[in-house]
Structure 1
Amino acid sequence: MIRPRLLIRLTVIQWTLMRHGLDELLFATPWFKPLRFMLWLSPWRLLGRTRRSRGERLRQALEELGPIFVKFGQALSTRRDLLPEDVADELAKLQDRVPPFPGTQARALIEKALGKPVGELFLEFDETPLASASIAQVHPARLPDGKAVVVKVVRPNILPIIERDLEILHTLATLAEKASREARRLHPVDVVDEFDKTLHDELDLVREAANCGQLARHFAGSDLLYVPEVYWEYTQPNVMVQERIHGIPISDLAALRAAGIDMKALGERGVEIFFTQVFTHNFFHADMHPGNIFVSPETPAAPRYMAVDFGIMGTLTPEDQRYLAENFHAFFNRDYRRVAELHIESGWVPPHTRVNEFEAAIRTVSEPIFQRPLREISFGHFLLRLFQTARRFDMEVQPQLVLLQKTLLNVEGLGRQLYPDLDLWTTAKPFIERWMRERIGPKAALNTLREELPRALALLPELPRLTHEALSAQKRQAELLERQAQELRALRGSMERARRIGLQLTLLAITAMLLTLGLCWMA
């Protein structure tokens, strides 16, 4: 049962879709398909409002519906394996630009969260925000000791809006799964669940601060990536204070060149950061769009990245991590059969899939690409073509890999902008091969033994007691099984005796009936 407030919101959504000439989205659903003829009666169609492309109309409708739909469109834009190319291109243009809320309101929220006047908390505080997005906005400030910081403040009253629109998305996803087999294969409920979790994670700035701290520990002492310091004494769920960094925006190519930044090294180091986060740390920044990435001008020959906004971080299970690494390794070596086998072993395609047919489909997609110069190959788009091919074999969407696919596309797109000849394959292959040697094979076995040996030695003094307890438990189990076997034999004996008695009684009854019939006949 849809509650009245959700029904009102759904009405607004449908009205917005119709005004942007997206009536076909409504009438494509099984519930409204019989009324499809009404498309031609739409006043917006008659007024010629549909001359814009469908992708452009969808993007503008999402922008009008508000920040949650903008963020959902951004998330969808990363799933090019599910969308037509023209729609994906338009959704990629969605910008999370939201008018800021008043600085006086931000000041009041900070004072309520931290329990002191802003004048006591900061030496300086600018009520004009540096940036404003759908979840929060950022203000420059200075701590009492003069350190430059930024203050991130969650938008007031944003949670009820998020909950309302998420409930609508959950409702639509559930209806889609019930109505369409194709929709069920794409797991819309799981995709919305993942989006729901991501949004709620972004609302908790303490969680973001913890993510920032963990990423900083992973890259401590590294010249690849700098992570700004968090000031925990100034951090609450809706307010976070962080060191202010001064770098060149990664999208400002002219400024990077003017600073003498080695663009080839910058592109390659970005790829190295990505694979280090995914395969070494298993903790990766999953929102690596240009607005969140800066470059330090201090070491132009070995440029160092600087990152902000750690609300969305990704991890993988050890199984997915291993399967991905093996897939990359097999692709690099053009071992298509192993790629097909890995997809089946991981459960990404059904177990009844014919390996030979799947291998042939993968080879058809891959071989033309490998015949081109490596610098012309987009690994991200190659994976998308592979996923589209795998759809013919009922490959299911893997929600846990959505963030990784999005990040890989961001990284490669960013790298190509910085250095058009970036060769992701050559840069990544040595990393993957090293990871395979360390995690799979004799060296991996030795590393595991080295890690487990201290725990095994710690248990050694307890080994006699544990052995005695195990043997005692085994003896008790054997005795219990023997008792159960005896009871089962006794039960079988009772049943056999009852069967024999029943048979005897039946024969006796038949004999008596025959004697009675005989006597009656003789009489």
Structure 2
Amino acid sequence: MTPLKVVPGLLRVAIVLVRYRLDELIDATHLFRPLKFVRPLLGRPPIDVRPLSRGARIRLALNELGPIFVKAGQVLSTRRDLVPGDIADELALLQDQVPPFPGDEARAIVERELKLPVDKLYASFDAAPLASASIAQVHAATLHDGRAVVVKVLRPRIAQRIARDISLLHSLGQLAQRWHPNADKIRPREVVSEVEKMLENELDLQREGANASLLRRNFISGVDLYVPEVHWELTTAKVLTLERVTGVSCDDIVAIDAAGIDRKELAAKGVRLFYEQVFRDNFFHADAHPGNIWVDPMRPTEPRFIALDFGIMGSLPEADQYWLAQNFIALFERDYARIAKLHVDAGWMPSNVRLDELEAAVRTVCEPYFTRPLSQISLAELVVKLFQTARKFELTLQPQLILLQKTLLNIEGVGRMLDPDIDIWAVAHPVLKRILHERYSLKRTLRDIRKRLPEWFHNAPQWPDLVRDAMRQVAAGEQKLMHDADHLMHQRRMVRRMLEVIGATLLGTTLIVCATLLWAFASQHGPWLPAGMGLAGLFSFAFGWMRR
């Protein structure tokens, strides 16, 4: 990918910035002053931007640049500790005040997708949108049975616009991969691919409906978080029909106070919900800006959130989820040596890193924070600084953690907006410890074993052949591996562990079968012998599962 292919995209960005007079924000550098002389040649924005504030000009420029830039502005709007207040106020308008497309065009899309006239599908359909965002806009409607719903309609030609922006990102990623000195650790192409996948998922409204259904099931009680119901018969890839809910935006402090809601309790509940979604359910709302998270004003004594817009949801591989949870616990407990060891054990850093040096670097970053009151510590800011420090030790960036980092920024921004004195550490620590205790308890382990028993029994006849093949491969490569003692020892440990798994599984199978036979055909021995044998078999399975 040559630099010339990047030029058109970069030129488009530069032209938009100059048209909206954003070059004036960096006049002090004297470098961009010549740009103002070419401004008359670049065309005018739809409105006169000269009297507008810098925040308004930035918002309008991001709107014109497209959905990817709008998403970036939405994230920044929640970070008032990083962005000046006047700019944050304007960027907050990006959440649901993107210019709409015509209502007649929305009706045509609905009829084309659902294959019936709108009057047959809905008792009423409001052509004026309730809200208009960067990917889709929402219209109020009523079903023929009287229930109020909202209809989300994908923007026309939005896929082409996103493809154009993604092409620019891919070009920049290729250049970074080629020229950046730490490209193998930053992995820019993988990061762009993750962003591309996220946006492609957001363009499929049927997928969004499935996300909403799963999140609703995870919080089916609706006590802490309410998720609207999906009407599947009126949903396709470009049209989504949801139950209509009412609430106030979580950043509308005046309305929340007027409803008599305890903002401190609400903020703490928001932090708990984040950790429950990530570490209990492994399925979290990854676009949690105030436009998508409402508060129910009708429940002042038991406040709850209302979730909207399920286009961007996140989940983590089981291994990353475990390592991340352990890193958070170690960070809460200031166990810097464990943080260093966890980064290596997780494979995020090479095994030859000196743990004592990494521990000292982590301690150097963290200790100044812990001299402040915990309510003044930004967990998101600390995590970012830890990643910056870890990169000096050849940290390999994990693209799958991008959504989680973005969500952490959003949640902390919302929490501090509701309660500037919130002690996020005190709220998150016990929640995370409880979730980990439940997730890795003996009861949970036995339940997982029971689920996997059919798979193990199905694969058991193949295990001896797999072990024989593995041992043959090690034996065939022994001459080649002798010069690498560490690699050879690793191979031997893997074979030994595989044999332990097979032995424990076969022993568990034998004990359970014997227990079943004794219970069925030798009842004169009483229940204790087969029960004891069955329990021993389950423990043998548990040992094999833990050694796998």
Q: Give the TM interval when normalised to the shorter protein.
A: 0.7 to 0.9
Q: Find the counterpart in structure 1 of residue 353 from structure 2.
A: 353
The one-letter code matched in structure 2 to 1:407 is T
Deviation at 1:317, TM superposition (A): 0.9
Give the counterpart of 2:445 among 443, 448, 452: 448
The one-letter code matched in structure 1 to 2:302 is A
SS in structure 2 of the partner of residue 412 of structure 1: helix
Residue pair 1:207, 1:311 contacting (<8 A) in 2 also:
yes
CA distance in 1, matches of 2:121, 2:247: 26
Q: Counterparts in 2 of 1:89-488, with a 5 A limit?
A: 94=91, 95-96=94-95, 97-182=97-182, 185-440=185-440, 443-444=441-442, 446-453=443-450, 455-456=452-453
The one-letter code matched in structure 2 to 1:111 is E
The one-letter code matched in structure 1 to 2:444 is N
Residue pair 1:226, 1:304 contacting (<8 A) in 2 also:
yes
Deviation at 1:385, TM superposition (A): 2.5
Deviation at 1:107, TM superposition (A): 0.9
Q: 1:3 to 1:232 in 2, by over 3 A?
A: farther
CA displacement, residues 191-226 of structure 1 (integer Å, 9 cap, x when unaligned)? 221221111111110000000000011111241111
State TM-score, norm by structure 1. 0.77
Task: Please identify, of 396-405 and 265-274, the stretch whose mean Cα deviation from structure 2 is larger.
Answer: 396-405
Q: Find the counterpart in structure 2 of residue 26 from structure 1.
A: none
CA displacement, residues 368-414 of structure 1 (integer Å, 9 cap, x when unaligned)? 22232222222222222222332332334322111111111211221
CA distance in 2, matches of 1:353, 1:253: 48
The one-letter code matched in structure 1 to 2:448 is E
Deviation at 1:62, TM superposition (A): 3.9
CA distance in 2, matches of 1:3, 1:272: 46
Q: Find the counterpart in structure 2 of residue 495 from structure 1.
A: none
Deviation at 1:239, TM superposition (A): 0.6
Residue pair 2:79, 2:409 contacting (<8 A) in 1 also:
no
Q: 1:261 to 1:480 in 2, by over 3 A?
A: closer
Q: Find the counterpart in structure 2 of residue 509 from structure 1.
A: none
Q: 1:182 to 1:275 in 2, by over 3 A?
A: same
CA distance in 1, matches of 2:408, 2:123: 41
Q: 1:73 to 1:181 in 2, by over 3 A?
A: farther
CA distance in 1, matches of 2:474, 2:321: 43
Deviation at 1:476, TM superposition (A): 11
CA distance in 2, matches of 1:223, 1:268: 14
Q: 1:448 to 1:101 in 2, by over 3 A?
A: same
Q: 1:56 to 1:190 in 2, by over 3 A?
A: farther
The one-letter code matched in structure 2 to 1:179 is W
SS in structure 2 of the partner of residue 291 of structure 1: coil
Residue pair 1:77, 1:89 contacting (<8 A) in 2 also:
no
CA distance in 2, matches of 1:316, 1:229: 25
Q: Which runs of 5+ in 1 are unaligned?
A: 24-36, 483-523
Residue pair 2:75, 2:410 contacting (<8 A) in 1 also:
no
CA distance in 2, matches of 1:105, 1:115: 15
Q: 1:232 to 1:335 in 2, by over 3 A?
A: same
Q: 1:118 to 1:321 in 2, by over 3 A?
A: same
> Number of matched residues?
461
Residue pair 2:201, 2:312 contacting (<8 A) in 1 also:
yes
Q: 1:459 to 1:161 in 2, by over 3 A?
A: closer
Deviation at 1:331, TM superposition (A): 1.5
CA distance in 1, matches of 2:272, 2:416: 14
Residue pair 2:169, 2:192 contacting (<8 A) in 1 also:
yes
CA distance in 2, matches of 1:399, 1:269: 28
Deviation at 1:360, TM superposition (A): 1.1
Residue pair 1:79, 1:406 contacting (<8 A) in 2 also:
no
CA distance in 1, matches of 2:154, 2:385: 39
Residue pair 1:72, 1:195 contacting (<8 A) in 2 also:
no
CA distance in 1, matches of 2:393, 2:464: 50
CA distance in 2, matches of 1:146, 1:180: 59
Q: 1:181 to 1:299 in 2, by over 3 A?
A: same
State TM-score, norm by structure 2. 0.74
The one-letter code matched in structure 1 to 2:438 is E
Task: Please identify, of 66-75 and 173-182, the stretch whose mean Cα deviation from structure 2 is larger.
Answer: 66-75
Residue pair 2:149, 2:241 contacting (<8 A) in 1 also:
yes
Deviation at 1:421, TM superposition (A): 2.2
SS in structure 1 of the partner of residue 392 of structure 2: helix
Q: 1:88 to 1:160 in 2, by over 3 A?
A: farther
Task: Please identify, of 406-415 and 186-195, the stretch whose mean Cα deviation from structure 2 is larger.
Answer: 186-195
CA distance in 2, matches of 1:7, 1:457: 57
Q: 1:152 to 1:480 in 2, by over 3 A?
A: closer
What's the C-alpha RMSD, in Å, of the aligned pairs? 4.0
Q: 1:471 to 1:290 in 2, by over 3 A?
A: closer
1:65 partnered with 2:62: no
Task: Please identify, of 161-170 and 304-313, the stretch whose mean Cα deviation from structure 2 is larger.
Answer: 161-170
Q: Find the counterpart in structure 2 of residue 485 from structure 1.
A: none
Q: 1:343 to 1:139 in 2, by over 3 A?
A: same
Q: Counterparts in 2 of 1:502-521, with a 5 A limit?
A: none
Residue pair 2:19, 2:39 contacting (<8 A) in 1 also:
no
Q: Find the counterpart in structure 2 of residue 34 from structure 1.
A: none
Deviation at 1:39, TM superposition (A): 6.4
The one-letter code matched in structure 2 to 1:430 is P
The one-letter code matched in structure 2 to 1:293 is I
The one-letter code matched in structure 1 to 2:118 is V
Task: Please identify, of 154-163 and 385-394, the stretch whose mean Cα deviation from structure 2 is larger.
Answer: 385-394
SS in structure 2 of the partner of residue 393 of structure 1: coil
CA displacement, residues 251-270 of structure 1 (integer Å, 9 cap, x when unaligned)? 21111111111212111111
SS in structure 2 of the partner of residue 339 of structure 1: helix
CA distance in 1, matches of 2:115, 2:257: 45
Deviation at 1:271, TM superposition (A): 1.1
The one-letter code matched in structure 2 to 1:238 is K
CA distance in 2, matches of 1:393, 1:12: 37
SS in structure 1 of the partner of residue 291 of structure 2: helix
Q: 1:15 to 1:390 in 2, by over 3 A?
A: same
CA distance in 1, matches of 2:470, 2:179: 51
Task: Please identify, of 401-410 and 367-376, the stretch whose mean Cα deviation from structure 2 is larger.
Answer: 367-376
CA distance in 2, matches of 1:479, 1:364: 49
Identity of aligned residues (%): 48
Residue pair 1:267, 1:415 contacting (<8 A) in 2 also:
yes
CA distance in 2, matches of 1:398, 1:455: 29
Residue pair 1:21, 1:44 contacting (<8 A) in 2 also:
no
